[in-house]
Structure 1
Amino acid sequence: MNHSAPLPQRCLPGTEPPTRGLFVDRWGTLLELPSAPPKRFADTTFVAGAVDALYKAQCEGWSVYLVGNEDHVAHGEVSDQEWLHFEGELLGALAAQGVRPKRFYACLEHPAGKEPHKKPSVFRLPDTGLFYHALQADGVQLHQSWVVGDSSLEIAAGQRAGCKTAGLRSGLALRDRELAIEPDIVFDDLAKMVQTLVRSPAYARPR
């Protein structure tokens, strides 16, 4: 009896499943909001259920992107070296639990920041540069992608880029009011959002 594993089925050209992105805000969505400038990863905490949610989404074929403005760095409250160390430890902690983000978008620039970060950037939310970079670099289908966050900045950016948007009651809970905009749907937290996303095919359809 042949117990060899079956050969993997390969998609015919042009029939591959679309690359769908799950763009997840860092602070307030993946990580609890910091009470002080985040100089050390050891001083931060994951939002309950968030890492398991990303792993589940990844297993369902979603490409995970971490996004957000890092104003603590832009204003000099956290040094570039401290941020690089923080970023490395965060990615290491995620990898240890099987989560490997496709890309890590962190905007360190601010028009009113300190040198060398005092400048505008198309990657600064609510601008849309990071989404179009993901489109060009990874072929992600923005109209089949979701942006998940707790503030109006990522929601506005996602809608401008043609993504579907989910606001969360964690973190800022959409109370920042920096922009007058409403998400397509609101969930308690990232875990509840991903649970619905993977269970209901309707949420994976294009806008």
Structure 2
Amino acid sequence: MTLPYLSSFLSGAGLGASLIIAIGAQNAFVLKQGLKRRHVGLVVVICASIDVLLIGLGIGGMGALISRAPFLLDVIRWAGAIFVFLYGARAFLAAWRGPGHLDASDGETQTALGAASTVLALSLLNPHVYLDTVVLLGGIGARYGWPRNAWFAAGAMCASIVWFTTLGYGARLLQPWFEKDVAWRVLDVIVGCVMWWIAAALVFSH
């Protein structure tokens, strides 16, 4: 890898990481799945795959198309706000009921399809995902020209893969903190607050 290509790769990785590593609905869900050790691999693969696909589409020029069709983002924005609000309400309900819900309603009975559906909705019903990956990363990466834009995209994709893998599988290191019931209640309250904050931001973003 020559110096210009390495520079492009590191630029993509740095910008990608700065956009991905933030408190959000998707990251909160991945963290909670990691703590519960439920379908972690599936959730990590879905999150990373979505980012890889969207970054690739952005570098390929789809960012310009999305910027010309704001009504699509509006539809996604309202659908995402409703879903995230309901997910937040579910988190608050879990905090009120206590950690027993992990064993009955949210633990063993959670199916792979349920986990996949939830993470897909949290990922794809957030218009900021498209603005960050397709429009922003795609627009900046496109300025590099071939083949440096490919190295830029590869850096951003690697940042996403490393982050979600670390978040999902590294969450178990926090398991000792969650041996007490109150820790799960606090986590659910935090998740609920994050979800409702995101829902409000989506509703009042225009």
Fold shared, TM-score > 0.5 on shorter chain: no
Q: Which has the higher contact order (CA 8 A, sep 6+)?
A: 2
Quickly name the TM-score band, shorter chain normalised.
under 0.3
Output the TM-score relative to the length of structure 2: 0.25
Structure with the higher fraction of residues in strand conformation: 1
Output the TM-score relative to the length of structure 1: 0.25
